[in-house]
Amino acid sequence: MTSTPERTPTQPTTSTGRSGTSTSSAPSTGDAGPRAVRRRWPIRGVLANAGLAVLVLYVLAALLGPVIAPYSPNELNTGPGLVGPSASHLFGTDALGRDQFSRVIAAARPAVEAALISVTFAIVVGTAIGTAAGFLRGVTDGILSRVTDLLFAIPEYLLAILVLAIMGSGLVNAALAIGLVIIPRFARIARGATIEVAGRSYIDAARLCGRGRWWILRRHILPNISSPLVIMTAINLSTAEGAYAALSFLGFGVAPPDADFGSMISAAQQYMLTDPWLAAYPALAFVALVLAFNLLGDALRDQLDPRSRTAAGA
């Protein structure tokens, strides 16, 4: 009586059909790709969709604020001053009788605009500096890298306040000052990615074919460094919004009586003990916007950065 060897769990099961070919029925050892990441980490997709939904709501509030707001945000005496939340005033009223719900809706516009203007300015200038330094190298790289290091050496908020002291306060000036602060981040990322891409063989092949520098930058360099720049853009939207709220809190944002989150929280300081809702609602709206930007940045990083996908699926 002979004994048959037991099949190990890793040995595939084979069966022979009529054609004589053997087919394997063993399941695959693991899932690969974004689908596996979504199955193993479903919460990430839920949070990303929630963040995107919140951003859509803020964009709609920024575009349709005057239409959906129950009162004009700067209208005085819409009700008694310093009245708590009620059916007629969902977020209560401030000391001048202005409807807080309408002012929170109106504050979405400068918040979104400041984040978009600052990050757009930073990514354009920072990418130009980083790609020029990484592609041209030599003296150009040395000069541009020292300029970037100088910007890094100055404390961010101090640099922004110095710029605003020269340019004057206001939404656009504050956004440009914030963009100047975060330019070095994009420049560093663009420079490192450009150096890595510029060393690949197809760049040498393009040079041997007689392609010029601008053609190589446009056709090869920029498309291949776009992923880390997109991730940095999404992440720095929350940074820019937080910086703008801080500058607005100090009085460098939109001019009164227009509303934004920082100025509303600043004006509510003296009522924190008696009427805390004056600061609570704009603060919650600000936190929701920053959190939505962060969730969007995390989702883009998971999709575009292969190292994060590998770590998530491990």
Phi, psi of 246 (to 5 degrees): -65, -45
User: What does the pLDDT read at residue 39?
Assistant: 46
Say which residues have a Cβ less than 8 Å from residue 134's Cβ, sequence separation at least 6. 141, 190, 191, 192, 193, 194, 195, 198
CA distance 212 to 215: 5
Confidence bin at 164 (pLDDT 50/70/90): very high
Q: Which of 212, 210, 232, 227 lies closest to 135 in space, CA to CA?
A: 212
When mean pLDDT is compared across 7-11, 50-54, 90-94, 177-181, the lowest value belongs to: 7-11
User: What does the pLDDT read at residue 305?
Assistant: 65
Cα 103 to chain centroid distance, Å, stands at: 25
Using the predicted structure, report yes or no on whether residue 36 has a pLDDT greater than 80: no
14 forms bridges with which residues in the sheet? Answer: 24
Q: Which of 175, 93, 186 lies closest to 144 in space, CA to CA?
A: 186
Q: Contact 65/256 with Cβ under 8 angstroms?
A: no
Confidence bin at 8 (pLDDT 50/70/90): very low
Secondary structure of residue 222 in the 3-state scheme? helix
Q: Which of 144, 128, 64 lies closest to 102 in space, CA to CA?
A: 64
Confidence bin at 217 (pLDDT 50/70/90): confident
Q: How far is CA 117 from CA 56, 88, 180, 243, 311, in A?
A: 18, 35, 11, 13, 33
Say which residues have a Cβ less than 8 Å from residue 121's Cβ, sequence separation at least 6. 175, 176, 179, 180, 183
User: What does the pLDDT read at residue 152?
Assistant: 86
The pLDDT tens digits of the residues spanning 90-129 come to 999 999 999 999 999 999 999 999 999 999 999 999 999 9
* 22 class by beta-carbon count within 10 Å (0-12 exposed, 13-18 middle, 19+ buried): exposed
Higher pLDDT, 116 or 5: 116
Higher pLDDT, 182 or 210: 182
Q: Which of 314, 294, 234, 259 lies closest to 108 in space, CA to CA?
A: 259
Cα 241 to chain centroid distance, Å, stands at: 10
Using the predicted structure, report yes or no on whether residue 306 has a pLDDT greater than 70: no
93 forms bridges with which residues in the sheet? Answer: 99
**H helix and E strand count, the chain:** 13, 2
Confidence bin at 25 (pLDDT 50/70/90): very low
Termini Cα distance of the chain: 46
User: What does the pLDDT read at residue 99?
Assistant: 93
Using the predicted structure, report yes or no on whether residue 143 has a pLDDT greater than 90: yes
User: What does the pLDDT read at residue 296?
Assistant: 86
Confidence bin at 130 (pLDDT 50/70/90): very high
The pLDDT tens digits of the residues spanning 75-84 come to 998 888 898 8
CA distance 64 to 310: 41
CA distance 286 to 264: 11
